[in-house]
Amino acid sequence: MSIFTDLLSVWRKEDLLSQAWDESLQMLDLSHNMFNKAVKKSKKQENLSVLKQLKNRDKEINSFHREVRRKIITHYSLEQSTHDITSLMVLVNMIVDIERIGDYSKNILDLAMNYPDALNTKHLHKDLYDIEKAVKERFDNTVDAVKTQDIKIARDLLKGYKEHITGASDRIVNNIIAGNIKFGTGSEAAAIALYARYLKRIGSHLKNITTTIVNPIDTIGYTVKK
Residue 46 has pLDDT above 90, yes or no: no
Q: Is the dihedral of CA 8, 27, 218, 87 positive or negative?
A: negative
Give, in order, the Cα–Cα distances in Å from 209 to each of 13, 102, 137: 22, 14, 15
Mean pLDDT of the chain: 87
Amino acid of residue 168: A
Per-residue pLDDT band at 14 (split at 50, 70, 90): low
pLDDT in tens, 185-209: 999 999 999 999 999 999 999 999 9
Task: Dump pLDDT digits (tens) for 62-84.
Answer: 999 999 998 888 877 776 665 66
The residues, ordered by sequence, that sit 6+ positions from 74 with a Cβ below 8 Å of its Cβ are 16
At residue 188, the pLDDT reads: 92
Q: In whole angstroms, how large is the CA radius of gyration of the chain? A: 19
Compute CA distances 135 → 103, 129, 150, 162, 196, whole Å. Answer: 16, 10, 19, 12, 11
Share of residues in the chain with pLDDT > 70 (%): 90
Residue 161 confidence class, pLDDT cut points 50, 70, 90: confident
- Domains of the chain (ranges plus CATH)? 4-219 (1.20.58.220)
Best-predicted range by mean pLDDT (5-14, 133-142, 157-166): 133-142
Residue 86's pLDDT is 73
What is the rounded distance in angstroms from the CA atom of residue 145 to the CA atom of residue 147? 6
Split at pLDDT 50, 70, 90, the class of 1 is: very low
Looking at residue 8, what is its pLDDT? 56
In tens, the pLDDT along 106-131 reads: 999 999 999 988 888 988 899 999 99
The pLDDT assigned to 138 comes to: 96
Residue at 172: amino acid letter: I
